[in-house]
Structure 1
Amino acid sequence: MTPPPASAQTIDRPRLVPLIDGHPVVVLAGMAGYGKSTLLAEAARRQQEHGVAIWLTLDDSDRVPVRLVSDLITAAGMSNLEATGADLAPLRESTLRAEPLTLVDSFLEVLYDAAVPSTLVLDDLQHLTVSPASAGLVDHLLRWAPANMRIAIAARVVPPLRLQRLRLDDRLAYLTHEDLAFTSDETAEAVRAAGLDLDAATVGSIHDTTGGWPAGVRMAVLAARQYGIRQQVPPELRRDQALAEYLATEVLASLSDDVREFVLDSTLDEQVCPSLVDSVRGTHNAEVLLEQCVADGLFLSRRSNGSEPWYSWHPLFAAHTHRRLVADHPERATAQHAAAAAWWSSVDAPTAIRHAAMAGDGGLTSGIFTKHWLELFLEGREDAVLDALDQLPEQSSYSGDAHLARALILVQQGKMDEAGFEIDAARGAGGGLPAAEKARFEDRMAVVELFRTGYGLGLSAAFEPGAALLERFDQSQRPTEPAILASVQMFVGMGEARLQGQGGLVLEMLRSSAATAHDTGLLALELTALAESCIPAVAEGRLSETRDLAVNLLTRAEERGWVGLSTLAPAVAFLGWLDYWRGNLHESRAQLERSLSMMLPFDWELRGLTLNFLTKTCLSLGDVTGARRAADQIEGLIESGRSAPMWPSMYAALEGLLLMAEGRTGEAVALARGPVTEPEYPLSRAHRATVLVRAGLPTDALAELDHVPADRFVHVECASRCVEAEARAALDRPDAHTSLELALAAAEPDELYGPFLASGEQLRGLLRSHLRHGTAHATAVTQVLARISSGQRQDVTGWSEQLTQREHEILHYLATNLTAAEIAEAEYISLHTAKTHIAHIYQKLGVSSRRAAIRRAAELELY
């Protein structure tokens, strides 16, 4: 009947004071450990400064109405209410004789007569949930309380009180566990109050692991003191015996038998849905019980309301509750894991494999792995494949697939020799399979071999074996697995694109791959094929449409945490390429550099093409040093033999532009007048003409442009016509307007204004006179003139936003010797999520390695 005493380690939470003190009635609803009693005790102490605070902590005996009223009157007597002139003696004498409701009315009359501000705190009101009579007395108090009286209620489960009218009248503040949870600042304050000096990353991981649950934060502080391994506090909380006992005595023990058994059965996974729980329990009422747990604040929240709702258990609660099930009912836990594996096998293979392994069913574990490992890899989930490999039984009839999976991971890591050993081992292990299984196994092995060829010798080298494999599939009498078909189609399309073969065939193959992947649900493979289609799609001339495709697929990837997926680099490179042609030079440079940081190391063809446009972007920005650095990388690829046939022509054209920018005009002109290397780069003539016209040789420039093919790409047409207009204007030829009009016609549909902006002052006068001369593209002319006048646009790429709070935390780990897996464990996140955060950091800092990220972060004073 008195508030709990204040603690030296109580955390001030001023954000909640207006909510608690600002309404006549306040209800704090949440499970054990959310600080409800502490908050109301502080509110009671504030009230005592200028009035009276009556405190009553209820228990099961208060389910009897007479006992509840008696306790209430006794608590009022201990509150110093009588010192204000209130007369409680008649109420004490009649507590055993009078009807409870009459006594409550008499008690309210005393409060009216006292005319002093008062607060009544009813703590642990959940004890009245099974007592409608006692709950009715509380309802009566709420309805008829005097204006100078406030009522504060705390309960793990709020009895069915009539609170609707209070809500409508804005007289009620109802705070749930989401409101009562610590903020990140409050968690940090709790750590400091305990006298611990933990770094921000560790404090952040404690907050994320506990979800701000105050009791969990307190346990984390105690664990940090006990174990002394501060980075490992979050995983230690999953095993902490003190926390397990707290949950058992304060939460599980307070539940009815039916609800307790349901909770034990439904916490096998942190994320659950009704059909999963019903499959595990063999019932049909899971949704009703899950909703009951949500309503009761039982560490469960609803996450989505699609065709089937999904719910999320608090991770610490789920971990400790399941450990209790395993300890108390091991056979039941094993059967439930097997049922969960069967359910998850069609939803998420890694989760299914984990459950099968926990059920101790090696055959089921291996079977799920064999069916899904290639799909997981093609979805970009290499970490899930590695985790699954660790859970496979040592002796398995499916060991051939384990060798293939390891081989593909090694190929991805560039360890070709080791991958070859694994492929040989897989071939030996698969020899004894039945005919049908062996045929499908050989298909998977052929795909791994194709990856090995492409990753080891370059994507262009994978074209012929990939095409042969597709022909074999066509001639086969059995259906090919969609994942295998889509991946081979993608490799053939990528190889043909690197060989710069027929654009229509390339796009057809890549789009077929994307369609197959889409129908199969292989999102990462679908996005990869679509990303690959962006650059060959330039041949179709629908540049804005392709840009929308690239932005859409990158957005979809970002939603899944796949921003750094290396196979999406072509889409990013395309965006950088298009921004160069649109004159958005700062955005172009950011996109091109980002794509280079994402790119697969063996994709020399795409790297050279991207470096080509990075060179020109740097030149347009006036960064000659950056341009020379990019061009030197192209030269290095040519000298190493890792180049496409037309690269020498491309490099020679770039070299001429670079020499001009470096002031070496004579060398540039000599190079521009020299023989053209075959096969010819489509823009080489336009670049040579640019050098000549800027060197004061417009007639020579026009002669070069006479050799530009008539069936040229739209950007080649735009660039060539711009230089042609500039050269003809320099010669005072009236047909300069004809060239300019043709350039505008090519540029306007996709806003390819970069060539006009590159000419700048040389074209300004001609553009102005062109308006008077007459044009069908007046809007384009005015836009170009406005941009020439205002200078280059200073667009900031959408991929260069500031680091998030979580990324700042991960950034601090990068300066340690922890591996990505250890960072994931310390932060209580999956390895895939940790890698995604690291990829985001690299992209936002514009770097491609851990050491470079640390150096760049230090330069920006992010540490």
Structure 2
Amino acid sequence: MGLEKDGAAASRPPRLVMLPSKIACPGVAGGTVRRVAVADALEGVAGAALTTVVAPAGFGKTTAVAQWVAETPLAVAWCSLDEDDADPARFWAVVCSAVLSVAGDLGIPDNFLDVPWADQAASHAALAELIVALAAHEGDLAVVLEDIHAVQGSLTSGDSLSYFIRHLPPNIHVVATSRMPLRIPLAKLRMQGKLLEIGESLLRFTADEESELFSSGGAHLDEAALARMRETTGGWPAASRLLAMCCEGAGVAAAEQAIERARENVGEYLLEEVVSSVDADLLDFMVNTSVVDSFDADLAAAITGESADGVRRLIDEMAASGLFVQRLPREGRSDWFRYHAMLLEVLQERFKRLPEPERAAMAQRARDWYLAEGYDDAAVTLSYWMRDWDAICGIIAARWKSRYMNDDNETVLRWAMTLPPDVLEAHPFVCAAAALPTALVKGPLEANGLIHKAMLRLKDGDDFLFAFCMVQKAFLAVFQGQWDACRDFAERALRFLPAEEHYLRGMMLQLTASSLQYVDPVESKRCFAEALEAQRLTGNANLICSALGNLAVLAAVLGQNAEADKFAHQALVLYDKGDRERKPMLAHAHWARAVVAHREGDDARFTAELGAYRRLAAASRVPSLAVSMDVIEANRLMALGEGAKARSLLAGAMAEDALAVSTALPSLPLIRLWLAGNRGAGPRDARAPEPRLALLAAALGYCSGDYDVADAVADIVRATPREDVVLCTAARVLASLLAFQAGRTRAATDLIREAFDIATRAGFVAIIRENAEELIVLAPVLRQAEGDAARKAADAALVRLVEDSAVPASGPSDALTEREREIMAVMADGATVAQAAERLVVSRETVKKHLGNIYSKLGVHSKMQAVALLRDEGVL
């Protein structure tokens, strides 16, 4: 009835652990008739992408596929589905757990709980990762989806399952059993010969199979009796088997009587007949254990109160009786059992006739066992079946934190949504706990409504509930980009959270730190360091990694290279090497290491770290990091003389997020190149509250010939603390050039010396090297400057660095071919595409193709922009 097992260690990965019955193939009982025709058909699984086994209940679908599994050389992952698995996150988690159980870790992603499945692009991206991982399996692998009808109509059986099957690699095969046709497009698979369909007609017992079934039970019927039996059952395997059980050991006359009694309602009558013939103790055991849909000996003992030996005896008797019971074997561990759906319905009807106190006591014992073993979802499902709302609220109150800490917020919401509205409102803490996952799934409006309902029930002394509501409001403010409000709510939460509440205190410190990352990165880093100490006390590796990754990024942004490397290393060693590729949060660590490698001029290390960053960022993209990395790479390409590529990267970054661009600070030569086709673009507020954005605006002004930004840059120089090495250096570089333009030579040399000294002490001079093309004007002044021997030596080193690094900047036109330049010269004269084609003796399509290439190389979108840029360069 449940999926999830909550590990004792808070730092386990947020991967669902299934009840064994969810991912175990049922064993085939001795004496089961082998369905030769069905078995022969199933041999075609390896040649099909999808095999469907579709028929009503009782047609032996599961038995037939289980027989095939026992005989096939293929590796088989088994997924037993029910209505609880209709949620796409749960469905795909079952699939992944089943695959992991037979194929080992193929690098399958474990973030299916975080995927917004209603977003088609996001769901397809997640499934693409799964498909790529499955393709790495050596040999063929079949994935059995038992009872797929249970999830029909959801996103699972709609677009996501259809997408998955359409893109299966050749080595992966899906086998789906269902009581109704699959609701996904199958026509194309049929046409391609990739669909194998097994239906009711093939699954019906043949006369020979029915005869074998009766003979194996000791009932030897003559031809006439067999014919009447077949007329009664219609080849329906469930009816045939039940009738055979009724006739076991009987003569022809007794068998005839059973057949006659079964004619009116074969299924219901025969099941009741079989159940009624079971020994009283065994029947009591079966009725009592029907409170759950699968069990092992320990769970059965907990439910019934029987001794371990007594339970094992009853289970052995039940298994030997040939009843509609499926054994789910587990190598080296106790087997699990489940009743066939038809038998389970009969048993549960009898269970409902028991006195209510008895039913409640057994359900309570089952739920207690689930909770003790960590099968929380099963406990919630059972509580829902019992309509025990207080128990569900208690489970949420006990488990919300472990779910939050492992990024499994949606499970909390799913549990809360099982509650009637009046019950939910009567439990304010549960309302508040459901707010964050509600915001993630349904948006902030409904989440705020839940917080409001919780706060309406606040009483004197409810400090923790108030603090928890403020925590949720802080999260909602982040989702809405309201950083000031986020900081305010986080501060209120921290005032009322108890000192021992390390998880929530750490999260609020992280949100506070995040809200300051652009306004005051030094203070932001201090807050992240404080958050790290709180998160370490939780023992949760994911939380610790998050804090360390953010610290690494901030240290890199500030130019504190040694600390950036230290924090990044600490984040990486939290996980074994084999697990790191499945931890998207480690993208932050690789980002920081790439930045440091670039600043230290280590191209090989930069390339390796950039690759690792991009692999991990693909699974959990942080837009601001991606934008700033593009700027860093653009600076590098610019320094290598690849101006066209550098300009294209910066153009994309500026279009996406100028604030993120400012954290990486593009070089002045790169800004000039970008401005050539984007006059007037970009932020121009040199008094912006974010110091890096203000410096970027000032740099844009300087490169556009606006030297009135000098005062704003001087203010940045004065206000920036020395811990912010990058901003200190970059601001002084720009201030020195502005001073030189104003004729203040002494101030210019003092400022560039300070910049060089700060950069040298911090262990990188990349920012001087990247701006060398601009700083070359200061070289003659520095050569002639007065000073002692130490000053002259430092000036000489600075001049050498600038002169060695000052390569002529390439313009966008450098990427154009001669033919493309020729076309642009004609177009600049005002010619149309048709006129240009006529003058150059080419087709119009050729001209259009060349223009498309030209616009792409120049990073522009129109003929007017291209002409303006090339005229600025003097090409036209």
Normalised to the residue count of structure 2, the TM-score between the two structures is 0.46
Normalised to the residue count of structure 1, the TM-score between the two structures is 0.47
